[in-house]
């Protein structure tokens, strides 16, 4: 919108008959322009158009009063920082910003995504449209790409770059992270753990700030960042911080990683099969596979090598507690060659494990011999 006359603070000119009035009017115009020219166009000479330059919202000590048919924008302190709020005519307050970011509450979503349930009291932050779409698709808690573990040496490993969500906080890494077992700074609490008293798993996690650390013998114990414990567990809670667990490595008593591995997405493959059973029992016998399968997996790939088999003998596996096992589909290795003795054979298959990473093993005859190995496992946290 253009103006009829330009803004001239030199007018009105002095006049002998009205000596004081022109100066007072000019002073009044300057007072007005000083208060308005930073916020509105048209109060500086040469600005021939109107419009709003900026709106400034200072933190108010008290909330404004509602006005019918009106939405009021205002500033208010949150943790000693001024944030922008909206107040509608019914007295509903809506926080619009938090730490320089927009709140997800501003998105026009017709339904609340399932990923947001149980997140009461948490501010959902959006940096970009991509982030908003990711949240709306239910990416909360998810590893969307990368963050695989790569064996480097027996003393250290790589965490590959990638993107994940710790709760609703997006973590994006563009470079490898190296973690060394002997480096205190690479551990979550700044102190390197020792496994000299007993070999075991060392879990790896990412906190909301994007720090990737060794968590020691602390498997996930929470399903989400609201503290729920039902369902698949993704987080280890250290008492103040939720760590999104991404994997685990086996540490020997000499504080080295003796089991070399390869990871492809959610599947871990051992460089050398890990023996878990030498049982020859003809009855179902529970076998502890936890030295080869961590608590973040409920399925392993098992191999077997059997020997001294005669016609029709076999070795079977099943999930501990299962009632199956009589069908040939449970055979991990077997032979059906007629009139043969002393036959050796190997085989492999996937099998679910129970909550303690156990399976049941059964030989068709105690006369047969053989061993069961873990060749790899699938992570249930990705």
CA distance 198 to 180: 19
Give dist(CA 187, CA 211) in Å, integer: 10
**96-123 b/e with 16+ CB inside 10 Å = b?**
ebbeeebbbeeeeeeeeeebbeebeeeb
Res 103: pLDDT = 66
What pLDDT is recorded for position 304?
76
Task: Give the closest residue to 192 by CA, choosing from 240, 260, 255, 250.
Answer: 255
- b/e sequence 46-73, b meaning 16+ C-beta within 10 Å: ebeeeeeeeeeeeeeeeeeeeeeeeeee
Domain boundaries, the chain: 143-258, 267-379
For residue 374, give both structure tokens: 């873990």
User: In this predicted model, what pLDDT tens digit does every residue of 330-369 receive, in sequence order?
Assistant: 555 444 433 445 545 556 788 889 889 998 888 776 556 6
Under a CB-based contact definition with an 8 Å cutoff, are residues 286 and 370 in contact?
Answer: no
**Whether the bond into 12 is cis, omega within 30 of 0:** yes
Q: Which residue has the tokens 């919108």?
A: 1
pLDDT digit string (tens) for 231-272?
999 999 999 999 999 999 999 999 999 999 999 999 999 999
User: pLDDT at position 332, please?
Assistant: 59
CA distance 186 to 154: 15
Residue 348 is predicted with a pLDDT of 76
Q: In which residue ranges of the chain is pLDDT below 50?
A: 1, 108-124, 136-137, 311, 328, 333-340, 343
CB-CB contact of 180 with 194 (8 Å): no
SS3 content of the chain, % helix, strand, coil (to 5): 10, 40, 50
Rounded alpha-carbon distances, angstroms, from residue 270 to 50, 358, 377: 71, 18, 9
Architecture of domain 267-379: Sandwich (2.60)
Token readout for 172 is 């994006």
């Amino acid at each position: 919108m253009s103006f009829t006359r330009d803004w001239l603070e030199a007018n009105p000119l002095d006049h002998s008959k009205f000596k004081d009035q022109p100066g007072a009017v000019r002073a009044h115009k300057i007072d007005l322009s000083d208060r308005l020219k930073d916020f509105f166009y048209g109060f500086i000479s040469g600005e021939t158009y109107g419009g709003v330059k900026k709106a400034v919202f200072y933190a108010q000590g008290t909330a404004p009063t509602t006005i019918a048919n009106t939405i009021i924008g205002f500033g208010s302190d949150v943790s000693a920082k001024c944030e922008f709020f909206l107040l509608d005519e019914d007295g509903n307050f809506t926080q619009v910003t938090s730490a320089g970011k927009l709140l997800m509450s501003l998105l026009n979503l017709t339904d609340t995504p399932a990923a947001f349930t149980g997140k009461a009291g948490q501010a959902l932050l959006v940096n970009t449209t991509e982030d908003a779409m990711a949240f709306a698709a239910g990416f909360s808690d998810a590893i969307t790409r990368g963050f695989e573990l790569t064996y480097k040496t027996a003393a250290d490993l790589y965490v590959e770059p990638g993107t994940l969500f710790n709760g609703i906080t997006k973590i994006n890494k563009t470079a490898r992270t190296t973690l060394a077992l002997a480096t205190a700074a690479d551990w979550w609490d700044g102190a390197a753990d020792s496994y000299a008293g007993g070999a075991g798993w060392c879990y790896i996690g990412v906190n909301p700030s994007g720090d990737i650390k060794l968590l020691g013998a602390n498997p996930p114990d929470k399903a989400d960042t609201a503290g729920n414990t039902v369902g698949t567990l993704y987080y280890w809670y250290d008492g103040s911080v939720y760590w999104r667990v991404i994997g685990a490595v086996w540490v020997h008593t000499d504080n080295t990683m003796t089991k070399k591995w390869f990871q492809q997405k959610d599947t871990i493959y051992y460089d050398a099969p890990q023996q878990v059973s030498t049982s020859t029992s003809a009855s179902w016998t529970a076998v502890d596979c936890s030295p080869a399968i961590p608590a973040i997996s409920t399925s392993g790939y098992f191999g077997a090598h059997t020997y001294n088999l005669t016609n029709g003998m076999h070795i079977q596996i099943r999930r501990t507690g299962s009632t199956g096992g009589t069908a040939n589909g449970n055979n991990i290795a077997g032979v059906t060659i007629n009139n043969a003795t002393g036959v050796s054979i190997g085989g492999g298959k996937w099998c679910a494990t129970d909550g303690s990473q156990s399976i049941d093993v059964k030989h068709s005859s105690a006369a047969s011999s053989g061993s069961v190995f873990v060749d790899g496992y699938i992570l249930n946290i990705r």
